[in-house]
Structure 1
Amino acid sequence: MNDLALTNARIVLDDCILHGTLIARNGIIRLVEEGSTQAPGAIDCEGDYVVPGLVELHTDNLEKHLMPRAGVLWPSIPAVLTHDAQVVAAGITTVFDALSVGDLEEDSVRVETLKSTYDAILQGQETGALRADHWIHLRCELAYPRLIEALEPLMHHPSVRLISLMDHTPGQRQFRDLAQYRKYYSKSHISWTEDEFADVLKRRTEQQAAYSSKHESIVLSMARGRNIILASHDDTDVQQVGHARRLGVTISEFPTTQEAADAAHAHGLTTVMGAPNVVRGGSHSGNVAALDLARTDRLDMLSSDYVPASLLHGAFMLHTLAGWSMPRAMATVSRNPARALGFEDRGTLKAGLRADVVRMRDVGGLPIVRNVWVNGQRSF
């Protein structure tokens, strides 16, 4: 019998905070009620918050474990296990590992490690080696010449549940500011003379013209009839958002402007922004601040992106800085992404749902994860 009883907790529900008790059995929440319990083995939470397990829909945190130092490739399975441990310690119980299918830069670690990483995630699932519930998010770089041949072998596993349509061609979307584009790649020790940079821009623009539209149509055809959610990426203006909606996109990832976020809201898209953007107080690429979207009611979900610990921290800051209630703030990292991804069995603390549960403590305005249970099993 797998029993879990948490008492003397501030339990964050959909619409309120309940000072009470949560009881789960065999991985399912059986009871959430006000008051304490004397049940044998009950854990006294000492007034800590108890929140739903976090749902992460776009993290490329795994990449830093695949290449822990420039030029050093780490074996895929140990990298996946380390990533898994890190996300669970951050309170993430459901994670969509974002694997980039293609890259516009030559000799990319993303291209080199794609298949081995994909296989390692599936192996971790099949052997029970992973603590979190892992799913796969395929990030399709539309201007990558060999996108379709790289994507086709990955499409058939049921763990593939989310596809995002990306185009990182410089001069538009995330990199509409060319100075930011050069700055971004300088962090990877890529530098160009003025002539070299002009040549890069020319080649990238030619690639986009040759492949992006064609690949977009093929990817949509491949996704059709499967249980796959579509997301757009780095929308900048009304036209791009409208185009995404016509394609059947339901999630707007990281809109770069207030205009795009307004358009996504008007079209009924669910908008996700980076939690690091919230924690840092702005975008590292010079785009719109997530807190600005929160204050104009244009933010539905957060993603930890490249820092797992930012997810809970970012949600907490929506509560402390944007003035959101704790239930509303926590929904951006639990209920809202769960629903956007088609999950009805998680994302909220309610009888009959999965016992994905996080105990966390507010220490001077910083949320500290104390314990994590995934499907009722203690994982941290």
Structure 2
Amino acid sequence: MALHPKGFDLSLGRITRLLERLGNPHEKLPPVIHIAGTNGKGSTSAFCRAILEAQGLKVHVHTSPHLVNWHERFRIGAEGGGKLVGDEVLADAVRRVAEANQGETITVFEILTAVMFVLFSEHPADAAVIEVGLGGRFDATNVIAHPAVSVIMSISLDHQAYLGDRVELIAAEKAGIIKPGSPVVIGAQSQEAAREVLVETAERHRCPHSVYGQDFLALEENGRLAYQDEDELLDLPLPKLAGRHQQANAAAAIRALKAAGFPLSENAIAEGLVNVSWPGRLERLTHGRLVESAMDGVEFWIDGGHNPGAGQVIAEAMANLNDRQSRPLFLITGMINTKDPVGYFEAFAGMARHVFTVPVPDSEAGLDPEFLADTADEAGLTAEAAEDVETAIAAICRNWNGLERPPRILIGGSLYLLGDVLRVNGTPPV
């Protein structure tokens, strides 16, 4: 972080040059499941990993950003389930990549992407699930020439300064991971303009493609998940991950693995859905220092979603929780300055009792909490700034009237904020 630019500089020239010096490790990978999208790509990666591991396969997984530790970005496939890369192995790979770069200008993400390719090429596995960092067309992961399948999840407005200010422009950037002749799976799209761009690109490249809602889908029926495509109808358990949107994400993962040619049993799919883990995404915190600092009965949830599309699905998930067990909802929110806070907060209008806005620790791009509180007011919520998450939790508990059920607290708006929350709480991802 001290040596290389922290921002985005989307290009394939630097990463291609670096990989050539390293012997092109990206050409020595197991079958790659390459996943892009504004929302849902991380969850879909988690479903792919869980299902393949339930099938008895070894799976490498690359995700970004990390929440607490850099190691989270690199899960190395192993018998019985992948493990986060160890200190010595990671340090050695970073050292070799840095030496190969020869001090040339390059971004942190490009260095880490090269590290990922080195690690994944040197450890045998049956599959590699690789999540795009930003966009698709010029993302450093997009040097993969022949993916087993390209998956593009839900697209909405985000990172407009880099990807464009219209959803069809963002879709065109995400569609850059589509490669001639390789299978394509298009996840659930809330905007028709995005879906049309993705389908047109797949057709232009003569790719066999499957579209959610047209070629495959998933529906909740009698407390179960019914998955259907042109081949079969599966009766499955509901996904472990909270939120109705996870049903569509699970369906995209199933369809992607089938399109990539992996043999899957119905038992493995079912086992994957109930054992999947994806920290920081509609995750309920049940223990830890922050949880124990609150009064008895408070329910804690965290989610790193930070754009209007994410706000909508998170708010829907909170509403569904209230259908089963009504509690007043409080938000503790921090964001960085590339996001649309008003669009995010609008999803919670009429639902959240109050918002506490907090700084994003160790981020130069964090929005001022006073400004963020003003944007929550603009979206129709009542809000106030707080010094940090712990102060906000204390304020909620101190002012509780005791006449209602203990509150539900949702901490979110930034994965960087969640990383600090998990660190302070003592529950980092493993």
Same-fold status (TM-score > 0.5): no
Higher relative contact order structure (alpha carbons within 8 Å, sequence separation ≥ 6): 1
TM-score (norm 1): 0.32
More strand by share: 1
TM-score, normalised via structure 2 length = 0.29
